Structure 1
Amino acid sequence: MTDTVDKLDYSKTLYLPETDFPMRAGLPQKEPELVARWQQMDLYKQLRASAAGRQKFVLHDGPPYANGNIHIGHALNKILKDVITRSFQMRGYDSNYVPGWDCHGLPIEWKIEEENYRAKGKAKPDLTQPDAMIEFRKECRAYAEKWIKIQGDEFKRLGIVGDFDNPYLTMNFHAESRIAGELLKIAMSGQLYRGSKPIMWSVVERTALAEAEVEYHDYESDTIWVKFPVIVGSDLLDAHIVIWTTTPWTIPGNRAIAFSPKIEYGLYEVTAAENDFGPQPGEKLVFADALAQESAAKAKLTFNRLRSVSAEELSGVTCAHPLRDLGYTFDVPMLSGDHVTDDAGTGFVHTAPSHGREDFEAWMACVKELEARGIETKIPFPVDDSGTYTSDAPGFEGARVMDDNGKKGDANERVIKALIDKNALFARGRLKHQYPHSWRSKKPIIFRNTPQWFVYMDKDLKDGTTLRTRALKAIDDTRFVPAAGQNRLRAMIEQRPDWVLSRQRAWGVPICVFVDEQGEVLKDPEVNQRILDAFDAEGADAWFAEGAKERFLGSEHDTSKWTQVMDILDVWFDSGSTHTFTLEDRPDLKWPADVYLEGSDQHRGWFHSSLLESSATRGRAPYDAVITHGFTMDEKGQKMSKSLGNVVAPQDVMKDAGADILRLWVMTTDYWEDQRLGKTIIQTNVDAYRKLRNTIRWMLGTLAHDEGEDIAYEQMPELEKLMLHRLSELDQLVREGYDAFEFKKITRALIDFANIELSAFYFDIRKDALYCDAPSSLRRRSALAVIRKIFDCMVLWLAPMLPFTTEEAWLSRKPDAQSVHLEQFPDIPADWRNDGLAGKWAKIRKVRSVVTGALEIERKDKRIGSSLEAAPVVYVTDAELMAALEGQDFEETCITSGVSLVAGEGPEAAFRLAEVPGVAVEPKLAEGTKCARSWRVTKDVGSDPEYPDVSARDAAALRELASLGRL
């Protein structure tokens, strides 16, 4: 027999892990293979079939814009959505993800003008001609189609699964018809009107802009202080009211001066002046007292305060326009306004209702009073769409506020020169401040009064509500994650003016209404239906076709009495209407959506427009919950930009590390806030992924020896019951985390479970039994059964987050399976929960930590090479800890060849941990001989003469293996 033993390779008698699941993931190569597999098997279709009849869970996709490759913000957004839809799909819901795209609007139109015309030196076609308009719109449509395909492929590479073969597109004919239908509903209910208000206007792009289309950048403005002579007000007739503005070009639009009753004002007389222009000694001026000396310094003069000027006195003052001689012959009244402060300027606000919202509102609030005083209240149109002064700016016609490239025109200097000539300029300067710019052209905008189409925010809708009150109630009824989003959106709705719908462009859904000479909208259901039917069959191009007016008005209306509106709907109205032709019109979805998820900027964008559109037409929001994520910064917390060279492209991360690494980063961030990303952070996630992957790999290797036997819970050792208890706890945490959209909480818990409780504890302890025990060993069989359950739970719980890795692992374990993503989360038996056992093992692990700490020092000092060479003496004074250890195979738990438990304090030199009082460990070497098979040091090595160099346990295992023909 000795010859047999000599020839026996004990490593081949062990149940060592065996798996083809590679340690090196190779995600950049493996992931595209899995994407192709999912497409070939039509995973999306199989998911829908498997979920048929279940309760629907709908996350409605906020449409990205179809005009370029995806960036890291897209990746963050789509990964979060994918995780949510997958997690609900795997928890018993029909969770269908339908991607969508915004296709209309200025960015695409701008790109077509740039690439197809400006770059080629070609003139833009005359879009007033039907054929030219329709051809131009076809170019825009083709451009959007190209980028939808590119972005769709990039999203699929991220692991996103959805109905990419049938997405929703705002430019689909049916979608255009539904968008137009929503507009016509608003028109028929009397909420749509044509009005004249100051709006944000892009001179470069020749269109009105919404708040969501504006961003703020540093800008250097001309600033001027201007003197308005008092012409009514007996005690101030020889004085001037002084205003300050950062927009000199708006002076021709001035119609009033605002003051505040809360500010203290004074009358000042100039005593000395050292300036080339401006006030001279003897002139009297009115200022806010808090700003008087600062203003005097700007004009290089000194003055004395003569007396106070009360609010009551100011309310009776009327001024002349400082350019009265140029044709500004109207009176300039004083208006009380809450928006006036003494933080900067003079304490008086130059009020040009053509050029500012607050100015407009202050003016309109006083219209009746002003008319009673005989003051002209018509609001002028001093600037046209090209930023050029009109005849409503006498003396300056033709001057430009801004040119076609967004550069300052000559308007400011011409106005300033005229003020100097009229001795009306007090001082001038320059100011660097945050100023609104178009987010497309990156050029500054202006505020100008222009006729546009609006939706009333405060009109009674004949049910005691207004659009504003409906929207505010809808906000109260919506769940916000994080909760702060509710207050943010509420504040925006509370303060917003009427909703501007019109844009002066070509590519989009038209404001398809007819108006008479009085501006009244035609309300004819038959006309509306003809329009909608045509859009559904031909698209919105039908509105611009030759003869469209006659076609839609039909024989019932005199075409000479009606004007066809050619403005385009704001693209935010398009996206705000997506719930209609997506959620309502698709039978595989439902209305309202369970969740909308977008970046925090969408409180003023998609969340906002969807809320208003749905509230206007349906009386509530189209969503039950709103989730917001922050923006991705670089590792230093700076905004990513090409100029700084700190942009992280998702395509690069996937090429170098894989999409699952990007997804793991998303899952480990506090995505509700701004996140950071860069090489170091990516590497941190690569390292975390490797540990997690190796845990999965070890389970796969170990389960290669699993025969699928289920062991009754009652028969299992305590350690296995403890791990089942932990699965029960984790199941609750995972499900609650997915419900709360707290993915970081889930990821952290599962990574810690894998690294700390599995790899460094349970697996480490059970390796000896799994590798060395006999096939019939209950301990080994129980461990295999539990690892099987751990594997299933871990892979299924992680599947929404890491779809590629979990698919690879699942198919490695179950090659005949279709996909892990067609599975459901595991059902955890209630009796696995055992808090009493968990409490007991928490005590055992405390004592174990002291033993581990002591042996680590022995290993470090090279007194032992492996913990199996040790047989420490453990002293325990804590009765509860000692009771927990009773009946335990504690040496197995400590992975030593022996442990002696002693009730008592232990020698002074023994190892102790401050955080575990009452335990001391005295390291000792194990007595006996090292087993050639298991490497344990025992006194029974050689007790079996057939296997003289192994322990009795290993000899019995070898004999059993031999009897089964496995040696």
Structure 2
Amino acid sequence: MTEKQDYKDTVFLPKTEFPMKAGLPQKEPGILARWEEQDLYHKLREARAGREKFILHDGPPYANGDMHIGHALNHILKDMVCRTQTLLGKDAPYVPGWDCHGLPIEWKVEEQYRKKKLNKDEVPVKEFRAECRAYAQAWVDIQRDQIKRLGVLGNWDKPYLTMDFDSEATIVSELLKFAESGQLYRGAKPVMWSPVEKTALAEAEVEYEDITSTQIDVAFEIVEAPEVPKLVGAFAVIWTTTPWTIPVNQAIAYNPAFEQLSYEACYGVYAASDGRRYVLSQALASAFAARAGLELTLESALSDISLKGAVARHPMHHLGGFFAKPRPFLPGDFVTTDSGTGLVHMAPDHGEDDFDLCKANGIEPQFAVESDGKYRADWGWLGGQGSVINPKFNAPDGPICTDLREAGGLLAASADYQHSYPHSWRSKAKVIYRCTPQWFVPMDRGDSTLRQKAMQAIADTRFVPEKGRNRIGSMVEGRPDWVLSRQRAWGVPITLFVDRKTGQYLNDPAVNARIVEAIKAEGVDAWEAARAQEYLGSDYKAEDYEQVFDILDVWFDSGCTHVFTLESGKWPELQWPADLYLEGSDQHRGWFQSSLLQSCGTRGRAPYNAVLTHGFTMDAKGLKMSKSVGNTVDPLKVMETNGADIIRLWALSVDFTEDHRIGDEILKGVADQYRKLRNTFRYLLGALDGFSEEERVSDVAQMPELERYVLHLLADMDAKLKIAVNDFDYNSYVRLLSDFANNDLSAFFFDIRKDCLYCDAPDSLKRRSYRTVLDILFHSMVRYAAPVLVFTAEEVWASRYPDADSVHLLEWPEVDAGWINVNLSDKWSHLRDLRSTVLEPIEVMRREKIVGSSLEAVVKLRVKDAFLEERANSLDFTEICIAAEVEVTGFTDDSVDDARQITFSGKTTNHKCGRCWRHLPEVEEDGALCGRCDEVLNG
């Protein structure tokens, strides 16, 4: 026996310094620093100058608090949009921005005051605004660094801020466009009001939570009934879950349609066990009797005109004044028999239906409840008392119920009614409907109304997912007039002068121009009473005008961002309209809608061509995240532990259009997915060590079938990735990339060709073809991965090309569509399936230690499909299966159900080549060389 020779130095083994261990938390900050040093963002703008633009307009996050997982998802998606569009060769800039005005920041500054036992109202307003501005700027700086850490590429040195003087001036200018075109009016309507924050709220600033309230039944004595005189002396019964509105009652609503439905739905007159007669819906009589502890006997059902013209008196009528006025019965089709008594007390100050019905009948609101939720001091009942949202104030033993009980008006009261109720999402306090003079944008004024324009714009916009169209459409279709005014300090003022005699606002372009210029120079502090005459000029007298000091709804601010970013020229890389707005699905009622209405009101169309929405991130169990529950996932901590690329891979792997999950186990799975992708790149780098252009096989037709098949797979994936980019389907994008790397490359192509790479002659066509395809794969895969794994792709690229520019300056790979070969794909799809059949018994033999590796295995397989047999034998199927021998033969025995049969699996008796380790008949003894290896070494 000859002495065994060590051929280790004669084989080519992949060589790379690219580490298997990522160490992302340590590496990523350094890569970020290099990008900043290179000014990568502006370098990219220069590289794409003159190209087709793709403009994503950033919806402004609020400058308040650390970045949370929702912020992370949102900005990763935006970054993916811009990077993939840039990769396609477009100029896709990203200008980040922040919302800086409004109640959340003002509330936080007030909290700081309260801790110091200071009263915000005693501080000069300019000083207070300065503190709000400083607070907002501090959080802008913090959030900017946190979002940058995610690898989000943008114009971070020049973001837009709604509190910049230019921005504030633009917001004022846009408001005045509404005023100049007659799309603004002041009116008294019930609006959502926070007594804690002392301001009106937009619907988007309200959230609903379940509460338990006091429900009461109250008796109103009927004093006039011209149609049915016998009703005089009976008591109409109303039911409410807001006892505090009884002191502002002005009427009672009934539904005349009840009598046209059924006998049970009719109103009835009941004799009660307490000696009184009550009027209420027959359908609800038994429920009322149970609440009141009364026995009722129906005297008669009322006809459809029975309550027409009837009048009742307030249970507190003895107080005189407002309470002594008659309370008319008014017909209202909104009255139902779902609950209550079928009669509804009307307080036009505190309900939309109440206001509309009373207004139509000449009954005006009283403005009895002040901004802090207390009745005004001169109110005849409970003056100066409240707050009206305090449960104790409304309780069965509270002042309202106590007074009603003493007056004989309270029939039932219990603090057990469970229902959903609106709360301020900032203070978490309950809100009320409160009628106050406010500024509105009308939805239905003029020949071409704002509602009509907005609905048409929605029809013209692309929505991803499509269901977003119906969601925002239903909201716009049914929304009331837009309440613009807020009664706070930190925000953009409603810069109007109102004629004290006519009540009309001044509409003078010259006055408006002076106001805009002043705010552009000095910010919102320029709007002060001392300068009224300066703005009015010589044509008007300041004493003839009321200067408005309400501030704008912060949604109007953010609705104007498209103007001072896309249109202003301050960011020349941008243009109007935006190709895309991208935010969470809650913004259908927020930023998407305010931007839509603002733009339709001033420009006649939406400021965007497409809207993309994402769902909310839940914990691993699918529960809403909450700090109090302790189930939040902090992206900052995840980056400290795993790196930003792991968060990015998670965000782009989930179906973000729906609510999705994150948790430790989920992140472990993402880390494993990342590891596999990283190892794919590591193999490519190692296998391409020393590759040169002289080695390249330029004619694909000369390549072996396997290489041509892999190029087909690449071209097929390339087309699908482009579709995914166009559809913003990043879940599919990442899945295509991962599956290709894991299944088509690592587990198949790389596995089969490692023998060729290690042992074939460097100048052999087969090995050169393989390395050529690896080079094509490298250049394609690193580009595909770059928008997803921004740091890792840079590391991969720099590992092979240390002196080259950033990978993020590259464009979409040049993949030849001519590589698509359907016939070849069909053949290899069948061969891969057949290969899986062979690998199964080999794996069993390895597990049972019959063979040490697949190279020792022998498998004999029979197939019914003659075409498949032919395909398997048209090439070296043994090599494809990485075995010692694989024999595929056909059979036509119809009595056998199986289409494939393993007839033998065992260990080869052939000797092992000392260099390539293959077991071949030609190898005379273990350690000797096979013919190929001998030729490579000895020529």
TM bucket (normalised to shorter chain) is over 0.9
Letter in 2 for 1:522: L
Letter in 2 for 1:269: Y
Residue of 18, 32, 36 corresponding to 1:35: 32
State the partner residue of 2:178: 186
Q: Secondary structure at the match of 1:539?
A: helix
Deviates more, 1:156-165 or 1:741-750: 741-750
| Cα-to-partner distance string for 1:508-552 (whole Å, 9 max, x where unaligned) | 1100110011321101111111111111111121112x6321211
| Cα-to-partner distance string for 1:835-857 (whole Å, 9 max, x where unaligned) | 11101111111221111112122
| Cα-to-partner distance string for 1:411-452 (whole Å, 9 max, x where unaligned) | 983222222122111211122322111111111112111111
Letter in 2 for 1:935: W
TM-score by length of 1: 0.92
Residue of 519, 525, 538 corresponding to 2:522: 538
Partner Cα separation in structure 2 for residue 410 and residue 876 of structure 1: 83
| Cα-to-partner distance string for 1:219-276 (whole Å, 9 max, x where unaligned) | 222211111222232242232221111111101221222223443123243453xxxx
Q: How far apart are residue 485 of structure 1 and its match? A: 1.1
Structure 1 residues 861 and 566: CA distance shift in structure 2, 3 A: same
1:357 aligns with 2:352: yes
Partner Cα separation in structure 2 for residue 271 and residue 347 of structure 1: 18
Q: Is the 8 A contact 2:618 2:661 kept in 1?
A: yes
Q: Is the 8 A contact 1:212 1:605 kept in 2?
A: yes
Structure 1 residues 384 and 743: CA distance shift in structure 2, 3 A: same
1:126-275 to structure 2, matched below 5 A, reads 126=122, 132-233=124-225, 234-263=229-258, 264-272=265-273
Q: Is the 8 A contact 2:878 2:885 kept in 1?
A: yes
1:333 aligns with 2:328: yes
Q: Is the 8 A contact 1:906 1:921 kept in 2?
A: no
Q: Secondary structure at the match of 2:861?
A: strand
Structure 1 residues 614 and 948: CA distance shift in structure 2, 3 A: closer
Q: Is the 8 A contact 1:214 1:439 kept in 2?
A: yes
Partner Cα separation in structure 1 for residue 600 and residue 712 of structure 2: 48
Q: Is the 8 A contact 2:493 2:552 kept in 1?
A: yes
Q: How far apart are residue 695 of structure 1 and its match? A: 1.4
Partner Cα separation in structure 2 for residue 262 and residue 658 of structure 1: 65
Q: Secondary structure at the match of 1:480?
A: strand
Q: How far apart are residue 925 of structure 1 and its match? A: 3.0
Partner Cα separation in structure 1 for residue 665 and residue 369 of structure 2: 52
State the partner residue of 1:276: none
Letter in 1 for 2:78: K
| Cα-to-partner distance string for 1:321-340 (whole Å, 9 max, x where unaligned) | 22222231222222333322
State the partner residue of 2:936: 957
Q: How far apart are residue 292 of structure 1 and its match? A: 1.2
1:276-355 to structure 2, matched below 5 A, reads 280-281=274-275, 283-327=276-320, 328-355=323-350
Letter in 2 for 1:27: L
Q: How far apart are residue 70 of structure 1 and its match? A: 0.6
1:865 aligns with 2:852: yes
Q: Secondary structure at the match of 1:902?
A: strand
Structure 1 residues 958 and 358: CA distance shift in structure 2, 3 A: farther
Residue of 85, 88, 91 corresponding to 1:88: 85
Residue of 497, 513, 516 corresponding to 1:529: 513
| Cα-to-partner distance string for 1:18-77 (whole Å, 9 max, x where unaligned) | 111111111111111111111111110111111100111011000011111111110011
Residue of 56, 64, 69 corresponding to 1:67: 64
1:552 aligns with 2:535: yes
1:429-828 to structure 2, matched below 5 A, reads 429-430=414-415, 431-460=417-446, 464-517=447-500, 518-544=502-528, 547-586=530-569, 587-708=572-693, 709-711=695-697, 712-828=699-815
Partner Cα separation in structure 2 for residue 850 and residue 252 of structure 1: 82
Q: Is the 8 A contact 2:696 2:771 kept in 1?
A: no
Residue of 53, 63, 68 corresponding to 1:56: 53
Partner Cα separation in structure 2 for residue 312 and residue 632 of structure 1: 55
Q: Secondary structure at the match of 1:883?
A: helix
Partner Cα separation in structure 1 for residue 559 and residue 56 of structure 2: 15
Partner Cα separation in structure 1 for residue 511 and residue 391 of structure 2: 45
| Cα-to-partner distance string for 1:453-501 (whole Å, 9 max, x where unaligned) | 11111110xxx21111111111111111111111111111111111111
Q: Secondary structure at the match of 2:811?
A: coil
Deviates more, 1:383-392 or 1:859-868: 383-392
Letter in 2 for 1:259: Y
Structure 1 residues 684 and 643: CA distance shift in structure 2, 3 A: same
Partner Cα separation in structure 1 for residue 381 and residue 862 of structure 2: 100
TM-score by length of 2: 0.95
1:840-919 to structure 2, matched below 5 A, reads 840-904=827-891, 917-919=899-901
Q: How far apart are residue 353 of structure 1 and its match? A: 1.1
Letter in 2 for 1:445: V
Q: How far apart are residue 407 of structure 1 and its match? A: 6.9
Q: Is the 8 A contact 2:63 2:100 kept in 1?
A: yes
1:923 aligns with 2:902: no
Q: Is the 8 A contact 1:22 1:697 kept in 2?
A: yes
Residue of 103, 109, 114 corresponding to 1:112: 109
State the partner residue of 2:366: 380
Partner Cα separation in structure 2 for residue 106 and residue 894 of structure 1: 67
Q: Secondary structure at the match of 1:547?
A: helix
Structure 1 residues 325 and 787: CA distance shift in structure 2, 3 A: same
Deviates more, 1:253-262 or 1:345-354: 253-262
State the partner residue of 2:262: none
Letter in 1 for 2:747: A
Letter in 2 for 1:450: T
Partner Cα separation in structure 2 for residue 772 and residue 269 of structure 1: 102
Unpaired runs of at least 5, structure 2: 259-264
Partner Cα separation in structure 2 for residue 217 and residue 954 of structure 1: 76
Q: Is the 8 A contact 2:243 2:394 kept in 1?
A: no
Q: Is the 8 A contact 1:875 1:905 kept in 2?
A: no
Q: Is the 8 A contact 1:179 1:509 kept in 2?
A: yes
Q: Is the 8 A contact 1:399 1:410 kept in 2?
A: no
Q: Is the 8 A contact 2:532 2:542 kept in 1?
A: yes
Q: Secondary structure at the match of 2:120?
A: coil
Residue of 112, 120, 124 corresponding to 1:124: 120
| Cα-to-partner distance string for 1:139-167 (whole Å, 9 max, x where unaligned) | 11111111111100001100100001000
Q: How far apart are residue 383 of structure 1 and its match? A: 0.5
Partner Cα separation in structure 2 for residue 81 and residue 392 of structure 1: 55
Task: Give the aligned CA root-mean-square deviation in angstroms.
Answer: 2.1
Partner Cα separation in structure 2 for residue 838 and residue 335 of structure 1: 76
Letter in 1 for 2:933: D
Partner Cα separation in structure 1 for residue 431 and residue 347 of structure 2: 16
Q: Is the 8 A contact 1:322 1:419 kept in 2?
A: yes
Partner Cα separation in structure 2 for residue 907 and residue 306 of structure 1: 88
Q: Is the 8 A contact 2:269 2:301 kept in 1?
A: no
Partner Cα separation in structure 2 for residue 516 and residue 699 of structure 1: 76
Q: How far apart are residue 343 of structure 1 and its match? A: 1.6
Q: Secondary structure at the match of 2:422?
A: strand
Partner Cα separation in structure 1 for residue 240 and residue 525 of structure 2: 45
Q: How far apart are residue 410 of structure 1 and its match? A: 7.0
Structure 1 residues 411 and 330: CA distance shift in structure 2, 3 A: farther
